[in-house]
Structure 1
Amino acid sequence: MWTTPWLDQNFFHLFYYFIIYSFLGWGMESAFVSISSKEWVNRGFLSGPFCPIYGVGALFMILLLSPVTDHVFLLFFGGFFLASVVEYVIAAILEKLFHASWWDYSEKKWNLKGRVCLQRSVEWGLLTIVLMRVIHPVIQGLADNIPTLLGEAAGTLLLMYLVADAGVTVQHILRLNEKLAHLSEATDDVRRRLESTRLYSARKELAEHLEHLPAAQFLREWKDRMEETYGDIEQLQLEERLRAEFVANEIREKLEYKVRVLEQQNFTERRLLRAFPGMRSMKFDFELQDLRSHINEKRKNRK
């Protein structure tokens, strides 16, 4: 396997190029996001120190652009095009698999479905020149000096680790989607119950409260509103009063259920939401942002 040829390269060298550039990409992304947010952020899809999108992109550059290393303009446009295609395809695959947009360039000019944009593509083109003419000769020398037996043994362990890390991350993302679905069902149930009460005079007012407030804040407001309303409930006939109290308790229980679910986050969920602040769910974005707000509020309280 390790000696299998790939376009004048072999799997051994290509694998270590992938590992090294995935690590360098992770370091660059993590440093940039950490500086921007003024705190350490482990950037990347995987939990470990690797960003595979950089490794994949670098392999395309090495395999396809090595013959034009001496031509700056060809390197720029080749990197501009190849990196944009890789970024677009990976974004589309992630959206299809996990029903979520992991990054979004919609607010930038000349973007394509928010997956790529002109500014980032130009940056990829410039980075490709630096990669192929400055960085890669050094990385190639490092890969050439890796002892064969040690490299194959370490490579096997690294490959097993990457597969395991990806498997665990995917499992957590699927569980996160299930959690968001349950939260969405609870939100819809609360909405239906609220619409059957007289606590909100119009659907517009309901939307402003339920659809734009975090669950914990809405629960606090609901309890305050109910304390103000119990006096009016006492004036109703017995049957109507019991029904009103039953509906009110059901709504409170659903809201408390939502808060409990939001409290149950694991390390991977917290890390992914911090690593991808622009992540959007295609089906349950309100619930995803509610979870993000809940995590951020807890972090602020701990500080």
Structure 2
Amino acid sequence: MTHTIFGYPLQQLTFYFAFYAMVGWILECIYCSIGQRKAVNRGFLYGPWCPVYGFGAVALIVTLSPLKEYPLLFVPLSILVTSVIELITGLIFERVLHMKLWDYTGKFLNIKGYVCFKNSLIWGILSALFVWFIHPQVEKVYLDMPSGVTYYGSLIILLVFGTDFFLSLIRSVKLSEHLRVLEERMQEARQTLDRLKEANGVQKALLEKRAEETRRLTEQKMEATAKRFRHHLKAFPTLSSKTYPTSLKAAREALKNRRRNQK
């Protein structure tokens, strides 16, 4: 029995998802590498794919393909669909991981920094071109493939992507935990220094020793966080944390220092 979604076989949509997620990853890496003038791995996951592109492509295919003969209606709906996907993705990351992977704050007609007019307009136009010209060619290639290849290929894709997503989610949760511990140590260091200003005698000596130990442990944690999560920090230069902004900034500085020391 073949399972379908909006009239499309599930294995077909799985193929489209994986293909466009990989294409999106390549485009993101090229775009960001040019902008930063160095090689950048833009993916949130371990593998070479950006799921938001895969989900976006599938959403456009199943919802808007029937309307591609009506350009006056199709283009505004393309803008709406891509904007909603980008907004929902950003909100999920913020609610679950307390982080923002990108930020359009300050740009014209932005919504919570996740969607802005300029980007939505660009994505809407690109989406229209995608459905009109690009996807029909990809669909022809898929339909010419043997059914056995598409069926077992879709199962492998689901297994690999599911595993990758789960492991990447764990990594992001661990990043949040590292930032929490680092934030606590930085706060303890500040409190110790404040107490040291008013201390004298034996108490001052003890606090000086404690301040030095706290500073050492804080720097160690800062270095460990920068080293372990350098992929996140490098791939998303606008990554922000509403819960632990200070420790995230400190981890970024530690990463910059590591780069300078390695040169």
Q: When the two structures are aligned, how many residues end up with a matched partner? A: 263
Q: Is the 8 A contact 1:44 1:51 kept in 2?
A: yes
Give secondary structure in 1 for the equivalent of 2:197: coil
Question: By how many angstroms is 1:69 displaced?
Answer: 1.1
User: What do the CA deviations read for 1:64-92 (whole angstroms, capped 9, x no partner)?
Assistant: 11111122232211110000001101111
Give secondary structure in 2 for the equivalent of 1:114: coil
Gaps of 5+ in 2: none
Could you tell me which amino acid in structure 2 is paired with residue 253 of structure 1? E
Question: By how many angstroms is 1:266 displaced?
Answer: 7.7
- Residues 167, 107 of structure 1: alpha-carbon distance in 2 compared, 3 angstrom cutoff: same
Distance 1:247 1:64 in 2: 65
Match of 1:48 in 2: 47
Distance 2:231 2:141 in 1: 32
Distance 1:269 1:165 in 2: 16
Match of 1:290 in 2: 250
Match of 1:280 in 2: 240
Question: Among 192, 210, 215, which residue is 1:250 paired with?
Answer: 210
Asked if 1:153 corresponds to 2:152, the answer is yes
Q: Is the 8 A contact 2:86 2:114 kept in 1?
A: yes
Match of 1:240 in 2: 200
Match of 1:186 in 2: 185
Asked if 1:66 corresponds to 2:26, the answer is no
- Residues 146, 267 of structure 1: alpha-carbon distance in 2 compared, 3 angstrom cutoff: farther
Match of 1:9 in 2: 8
Distance 1:192 1:267 in 2: 27
TM-score, length-normalised on structure 1?
Answer: 0.83
Sequence identity percentage:
29
Q: Is the 8 A contact 1:169 1:268 kept in 2?
A: no
Could you tell me which amino acid in structure 1 is paired with residue 240 of structure 2? R
* Runs of 4+ displaced beyond 3 Å: 265-268
Match of 2:105 in 1: 106
Distance 2:53 2:236 in 1: 16
Distance 1:274 1:142 in 2: 35
Could you tell me which amino acid in structure 1 is paired with residue 134 of structure 2? I
Distance 2:140 2:23 in 1: 16
User: What do the CA deviations read for 1:38-66 (whole angstroms, capped 9, x no partner)?
Assistant: 11111122121111001111111111111
1:127-166 to 2 correspondences below 5 Å: 127-166=126-165
Question: By how many angstroms is 1:118 displaced?
Answer: 0.4
Match of 1:260 in 2: 220
- Residues 31, 121 of structure 1: alpha-carbon distance in 2 compared, 3 angstrom cutoff: same
Distance 1:137 1:105 in 2: 32
Looking at CA atoms only, which structure, 1 or 2, has the larger radius of gyration?
Answer: 1
Distance 1:161 1:254 in 2: 42
Could you tell me which amino acid in structure 2 is paired with residue 104 of structure 1? D
Could you tell me which amino acid in structure 2 is paired with residue 246 of structure 1? L
Could you tell me which amino acid in structure 1 is paired with residue 93 of structure 2? L
TM-score, length-normalised on structure 2?
Answer: 0.95
Distance 2:66 2:216 in 1: 62
Gaps of 5+ in 1: 200-238
Distance 2:131 2:229 in 1: 36
Q: Is the 8 A contact 1:33 1:41 kept in 2?
A: yes
